[in-house]
Amino acid sequence: MQQASDGCPFPVQRKHRPYDLQCPVRLQLPQMPSVSSLDTVSRNVSLGGMLLDSKIPVPKVSWVFLTLTLCGQPMNRTL
């Protein structure tokens, strides 16, 4: 188990291995009409989720549409 990095006193248990991946991520937040899109950066990515670094807090329980920008060869399949 790992201690949460945000100061949370509860340990974090991970099912999937996180990979350090810093890439630009653009979020669309339909539940926040005052913010049409938000540019963030990924910090790590796993099969179970993604940690984002954002200047504006995103509500914990909300729909989020995101575009992750990766450099390299184009992919012909959906992730």
- At 79 the pLDDT is 52
Extents of the domains making up the chain: 17-79
On the CB side of 60, how many CA atoms lie within 13 Å of its CA?
Answer: 0
Of 65 and 60, the one with more pLDDT: 65
- At 74 the pLDDT is 64
Where does the pLDDT of residue 3 fall: very low under 50, low under 70, confident under 90, or very high at 90 and above? very low
Q: Rounded to whole angstroms, how far apart are CA atoms 21 and 62?
A: 23
**pLDDT 10s digits, 4-20:** 555 555 566 778 888 88
